[in-house]
Every structure is written in structure tokens, then in C-alpha cells.
Amino acid sequence: MADWLTPAGEAAVLVTVARAEGSVPREAGTHMLVTASGQFDTIGGGHLEHKAFDIAREMIAAQRAGRPVTPHLERFPLGPSLGQCCGGVVWLLFEAVSGGLEEVLAQLDLRRREDSCRITAIDGQAECRLVAEEHKETHIRTDADGRRWLVDPVKAPRAHLVLFGAGHVGAAIVRALAELPCTVTWVDERDAMFPAEVPGNVTIEATDTPEACIDEAPDNASYLVLTHSHALDLQLTEAILRRPKVGWFGLIGSKTKRAQFTSRLEVKGLGTQNMVCPIGLPGIIDKAPAVIAASVAAQLLMVWESQAKD
């Protein structure tokens, strides 16, 4: 997630969709990092990305030759000049990753879970900094001296999942969510079950009191319960159903398991109408961990995009 934050120590150019009008591949605020050996993330592919890649590589060559490289803003009509069927207009800002921008990217990399906003000069010498201002969208503004600046909010993911269970299915779901716009708290009491390395959007909680992670989760978080123990599943389910402001709750299992849990929880005065069990998209019946993970990841994306519109 957000691979454009990490230039990997080589000459690089950050490409930002500074403005977009009409039908376009990606919205304003989309980023792509181009290095001498490759690229990270995408501004939408096609001829537009090919042209952007060439411009960025020319800037990298100039950097390596010791020539001064200043920010470069270019307008691309997608239909007339590039032959792309979407037909809108995109303005791309090209910035060599050095000096202030390099420092800002390093700070953003450390603050991936916090909202930030960078201000970067379009005209004149390269200048970039983080500011405390709040802005909803990426846009270009002009100061009193006529100098243009890109205002570029870099927002932390809003979706958060608390995932209980470090078995095969849990590990597959963590891998499936690695590059999606979310953060994950991955919980299990069996420390040895966790892999040595996890994606950057994942925090491991190895604890003998997993239900405490329910109380500590942010409001409207999503919960996914798939532990090795039905008794623990039931304990966690009860704690989640008692918690206010739950965004979404999924429990791995069959319709039979749902019926059993429902009968036991109703005795305690808890309804299970908001409990999703079985999990995954309807029609996908393969039980392989990777298939379950793909299905659940798609299900969560649908939930999170719907919540973002509210």
C-alpha cells in the first residue's frame, strides 16, 4: 500500500494527478513513483502512463547528469492527443525526489496511519513541505505573487479490520488485504503462528485476552472472527455484539454454525441479525484459503465503499 512513499534510495520522480476533468483513468491525488529500474503504483495505465513514464525517465537522466531539475506540470487531453476512449483531461505534476520532497516522503512513510497534507511548488525552484491544514481534495492554488502550488492531502485509510485467527485462512486474508486501502489488527494468542514479516498495513496482537482488542478498536471498525476454537469464536462474537458502533462483523462458518450461535446468544438477549455468517460473496463455494480470502476481500471492499458514501 502506498508504495510511492518509498523511493528505495535511487533517483526517482513522483508523478501526481494534480487536476482531472471529465472521464479519466484515476482521480486527482493519485500518485506514481518512477525510478531508473521501474515504477510503483499507477496513474491509470494506457498511453497517458506511457507518456508520463517517458517524461519521468528524462528527468531522472537529467538528475544523474547533474543538471537542475524543476517541477513540471503538463496538461494531457486524453482523447485528441493520446487516443484514449475516456476522453477527459488530466494535469500531471512531475517532481524529482530530492531535497524537501525526499524529506516529506520519509515523514509520510512514518505517518501512514495519520492524515497529512503536503504543499509543493509548481513554479520556480522545487519546494515541498508538510502542513497542518485540512483539505478534502488535491488541487492547485495560486498565491499573491502568482506562484502556483499543489495542495495534496495524503489521507490515512479509513477502513480498519480487527481479524481474529492466524491460521491458513487468516494469513491468506491478510495477504489479500496487503495493498488495499485499510489497516488491520491481526489477533491470536499463538505467537508462533504469525509470519516473520507482515504487510505495512498490519499490526500484530499476540495476546491471551483477545476480547480486549474489541474494546480497544476504533468506532465503526470491521471485525472478522475465524479462530481455531468454536468456543473462542462464540466468546468473541458475544463481545462484538455487545459493543456499540460496529461497522461490520463476519464469522467464518456454515449456516449450521450460525444457527447454533444464534440460539445460544439469543438466550443472553443478543440478536445476530447483523452477524454475517457464512462470509464471502454468494456463489463462491471453493473452500481453499486463497479463494476464501479473495471472496472476503471483495466483500469487505463493497462494505467499506458503501460506508464511505454515507
Tens digit of each residue's pLDDT (9 = 90 or more) over 212-228: 999 999 999 999 999 99
- Beta-bridge partners for 284: none
pLDDT digits (tens, 9 = 90+) for 241-265: 999 999 999 999 999 999 999 999 9
pLDDT digits (tens, 9 = 90+) for 138-162: 999 999 999 999 999 999 899 999 9
Which pLDDT band holds residue 80 (cuts at 50, 70, 90)?
Answer: low
- Tell whether the model's pLDDT for residue 24 goes beyond 70: yes
Calculate the CA 257 to chain-centre distance: 32
Domain ranges of the chain: 3-154, 159-309
CATH of domain 159-309: 3.40.50.720
- Tell whether the model's pLDDT for residue 59 goes beyond 90: yes
Which pLDDT band holds residue 68 (cuts at 50, 70, 90)?
Answer: confident
* Alpha carbon distance 310, 305 (integer Å): 9
- Tell whether the model's pLDDT for residue 81 goes beyond 70: no
Global pTM value: 0.84
Question: Under a CB-based contact definition with an 8 Å cutoff, are residues 265 and 241 in contact?
Answer: yes
Sequence-distant (≥ 6) Cβ neighbours of residue 38 within 8 angstroms: none
pLDDT of 72 reads 93
3-class DSSP state of 131: strand
Which pLDDT band holds residue 86 (cuts at 50, 70, 90)?
Answer: low
Q: What is the mean pLDDT of residues 22-46?
A: 90
Beta strands at 248-251 and 39-40: parallel, antiparallel or unpaired = unpaired
Calculate the CA 183 to chain-centre distance: 8
